């Protein structure tokens, strides 16, 4: 028997002692049920003159009762937490970022790949902004299917290579964090999700990075390309936005199995294994994605 289950009653209540009849008796209670064990089970605090003390273990031994026959009350089910509504950013802040593209390294790189007209078209389609937070940085705005701005991801790219600048203390930050909006309930959506309602009859392709979605859209425009913004970041939850659509996932190298498991059983969703089939060991070591292959192939055919 676990002695700690039974404790002297707290709160200052005193009863008549079975031995000395003085109102100096504290009874034991069952911490599982909150009930007193028995009227005579307790301790008189007149230790020097009375000294009566009947412990629960002694009581159960004398009576032959099993303390474990006393059922532990069922724990009350915890109520489900109230769903928290997502926070949004005012459109005016996004609109203000649609400028200074000559200082936007990602846009400058897009121009080098697609030319100025096509680069501007892609920038407008995906609502890419310019941030003052870091020199040359861009903003990938996350706009949900009803046009609400969930947040904006601020990142830095090399204007010559199109590669992310990662050798920095903080390679990524968020608009709501920079603006110090408190409290802010961030619930991310697919990058490019706002395009789903604009092209309801087109099939959907989902990739990991924002850059890959934009590059793929430039080379393969007949599909709505959107991005998760992370390898497995709430992927199944984000796929709810494309329910009922014909969807193909294009995971980066090393993410194929994770994405295949998430997509299993989802109607209309398939997973492309094209990168898995074509990747060399060097490609796997470099962690290439679909954008790398598209850029490589189109450079070779240019």
Cα–Cα distance measured from residue 302 to residue 296, given in angstroms and rounded to the nearest whole number = 10
CB 205 within 8 Å of CB 224:
yes
pLDDT tier at 70, thresholds 50, 70, 90:
low
Range with the lowest mean pLDDT among 75-79, 185-189, 197-201, 297-301? 75-79
Collect all residues with Cβ–Cβ distance below 8 Å to 77 and sequence separation of at least 6: none
pLDDT in tens, 158-179: 999 999 987 777 789 999 999 9
Asked if residue 290 lies in contact with residue 278, where contact means CB atoms within 8 angstroms, the answer is: no
pLDDT of 35 reads 85
Quick check: helix, strand or coil at residue 187?
A: coil
Q: Which CATH architecture has domain 194-302?
A: 3-Layer(aba) Sandwich (3.40)
Which pLDDT does position 1 carry in this prediction? 45
* 239 CB-near residues (< 8 Å, 6+ apart): 206, 247, 262, 263, 266, 269
User: Whole-angstrom Cα distance, residue 62 to residue 60?
Assistant: 5
For CATH 3.40.1360, the residue range(s) in the chain are: 194-302
């Amino acid at each position: 028997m676990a002695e700690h289950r039974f404790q002297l009653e707290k709160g200052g209540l005193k009863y008549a002692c079975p031995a000395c009849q003085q109102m100096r008796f504290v009874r034991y209670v069952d911490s599982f049920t909150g009930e007193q064990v028995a009227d005579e089970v307790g301790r008189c605090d007149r230790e020097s003159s009375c000294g009566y003390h009947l412990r629960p273990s002694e009581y159960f031994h004398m009576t032959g009762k099993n303390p474990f026959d006393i059922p532990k009350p069922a724990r009350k089910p915890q109520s489900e937490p109230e769903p928290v509504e997502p926070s949004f950013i005012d459109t005016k802040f996004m609109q203000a970022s649609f400028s200074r593209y000559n200082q936007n390294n990602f846009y400058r790189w897009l121009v080098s790949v697609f030319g100025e007209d096509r680069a501007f078209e892609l920038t407008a389609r995906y609502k890419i902004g310019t941030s003052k937070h870091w020199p040359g940085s861009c903003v990938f705005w996350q706009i949900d299917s009803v046009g609400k701005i969930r947040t904006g991801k601020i990142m830095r790219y090399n204007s010559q290579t199109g590669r992310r600048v990662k050798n920095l203390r903080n390679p990524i930050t968020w608009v709501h964090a920079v603006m110090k909006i408190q409290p802010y309930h961030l619930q991310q959506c697919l990058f490019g999700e706002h395009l789903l309602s604009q092209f309801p009859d087109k099939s959907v392709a989902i990739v990991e990075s924002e850059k890959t979605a934009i590059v793929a859209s430039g080379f393969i425009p007949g599909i709505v390309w959107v991005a998760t913004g992370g390898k497995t970041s709430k992927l199944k939850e984000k796929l709810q936005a494309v329910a009922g659509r014909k969807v193909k996932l294009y995971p980066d190298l090393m993410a194929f199995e994770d994405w295949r498991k998430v997509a299993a059983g989802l109607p209309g969703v398939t997973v492309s294994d094209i990168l898995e089939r074509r990747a060399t060991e060097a490609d796997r070591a470099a962690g290439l994605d679909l954008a790398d292959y598209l850029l490589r192939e189109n450079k070779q055919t240019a």
